[in-house]
Amino acid sequence: METQINGDNLPGSHLIFRGRQMVLGGIELDVGPSKQGQADVFLSAVLQAKIPGLCPGERELQIVLERNDEVVQILNPTIFDVDQTASGETVIQVLGKVMLTSTISKSPTAETTYQADNPLGKAQKKASVQIGPLIGKSQDNTGLARPKRSLNSIMSEMVEDILNRVKRLPPYASRLLNLLGSDAACADKVIDLIKMDPSLVAMVMKSVNSSYYNLRSKVNDLHHAVLLLGFNQIYQLVIREAVRSRMPNRAEFQKIQSHSVILSIVAYELALSCNLMPVTLCTVGLLHDIGKSLLLLLKERNPRFGSFFEMLDDCKIGSHLLRKWNLPRIVCGTIEYQRHPEFSPPEAIPGEFRKSVAVIYAAHLAYDYMSGMRENELPKAFFSGYMDLIDAPETSVDKLVKGRVFRSIVRKIDTLPEEAKKFFELSIERLT
């Protein structure tokens, strides 16, 4: 027994709770990426009176939003938060689903940026739909007017807060990484920068004297150590230490880091075989999932928003952090666009990043194939186009792995980190 109720924002918009119908005043609605025709939705609305019985976790409610001839119904809504204001209003926040077939984008005031799942690969992400004007102001429990914020605004603040809490690289570390990635690098300049951090000196000396290199006599001189390790190894040491020291030492973070180390090795071998910035792409491999680590931190610190953090683009978040660290533009841009080849042709990626993105795309395919995925399960809709970019004539991932990864890895497998060594040994045994 629903009746039309004329409200200021969306005429006819109402909530039915345990058979009682209530007017929805100011409304904000954010809609995320779809899954099987439905999308996650976050509603923030102001009711005109205090409503006893509303509490977080409550599911006995129906929400219908109407504007002119349009109807949007939120499916399976669950109350997320309830705030009673001093003026007698109830502010509720609700999680639910909305059908994408609803005519939510026809309203003249609606702003629609949603893109449905792309059948060629992963969903194109991180968009929102807002229905009706954002509510202007409500009141908090002090009786003072305060602006209502959308979920996007709240989440942006949370992301920025996490990014600002992550320690930045020391200035000399950023200069060292830029120097090592340039043609101007020389031993004396590198050593001068390493000396500015005693912990980095210790890390270099520990690395060169480890069983990893199996030297006959102990190295005590930093200059000798840098020459023995080489710039590429120094570069990787700095990157690994930067990530390790800035993320929690827990299993889920270690899993991301282990995957990144293996991917960096694959990216290095592919880039080397194509003569395309092997050191830089090794760095991209080490850092490509740093956005995932940041999202884990976000979920840990804000568990009630967990489902919405899944909607965030970890590639863009990671790229944003690395820009704050002043890492080279090619590193940040490659990480930002790394997943585009799964659902977009090369032309959809800025020209300056296409070749580096193609190498990382190939590295991801190789890693997944070596991990046990079948060739026909891999996202290869635009495979040939990206392989043409890097002059790789291989027509399959199997040929790419065996011809450009295994051939080089078998000669250096004993020098790899233990976890990477086991990964490649198992892969070589299974695929050859």
Q: Is the pLDDT of residue 419 over 60?
A: yes
Domain for residue 153, yes or no? no
Across 205-214, 270-279, 408-417, 419-428, least confident range = 205-214
Q: Is the pLDDT of residue 103 over 60?
A: no
Instruction: Find where tokens 């080849």 sit.
Output: 341
Domain for residue 155, yes or no? no
Sign of the alpha-carbon dihedral angle for 175, 177, 180, 182: negative
**263 and 236 both lie in a single domain:** no
Domain for residue 178, yes or no? yes
Confidence of residue 192 (pLDDT cuts 50, 70, 90): confident
**Number of C-beta neighbours around residue 329 at 10 A:** 11
Determine the structural domain holding residue 267 and report its residue range. Answer: 251-432
**233 and 265 both lie in a single domain:** no
**39 and 98 both lie in a single domain:** yes
Q: Is the pLDDT of residue 110 over 50?
A: no
Residue 265 burial (CB < 10 Å; 0-12/13-18/19+)?
Answer: buried
For 118-150, b/e burial (b = at least 16 CB within 10 A) is eeebebbbbbbbbbbebbeebbeeeeeeeebeb
Q: Is the pLDDT of residue 80 over 80?
A: no
pLDDT in tens, 248-282: 777 888 899 889 989 999 999 999 999 998 888 98
**74 and 211 both lie in a single domain:** no
Across 156-160, 192-196, 372-376, 379-383, least confident range = 156-160
**Number of C-beta neighbours around residue 419 at 10 A:** 13
Q: What is the pLDDT of residue 145?
A: 34
Confidence of residue 346 (pLDDT cuts 50, 70, 90): very high
Domain count, the chain: 3
Domain for residue 138, yes or no? no
Domain for residue 9, yes or no? no
Domain for residue 162, yes or no? no
Which residue among 198, 218, 245 closes a domain?
245
Across 166-175, 193-202, 294-303, least confident range = 166-175
Q: What is the pLDDT of residue 143?
A: 35
User: First CA to last CA across the chain, in angstroms?
Assistant: 69
Q: Is the pLDDT of residue 170 over 50?
A: yes
Q: Using CA atoms, how far apart are residues 293 and 295, in angstroms rounded to an integer? A: 5
**191 and 336 both lie in a single domain:** no
Q: pTM of the entire structure?
A: 0.60
Q: What is the pLDDT of residue 180?
A: 67
Confidence of residue 105 (pLDDT cuts 50, 70, 90): very low
The answer for residues whose C-beta is within 8 angstroms of residue 426's C-beta and 6 or more apart is none
Domain for residue 143, yes or no? no
Percent over 90 (pLDDT), the chain? 25
Residue 432 burial (CB < 10 Å; 0-12/13-18/19+)?
Answer: exposed
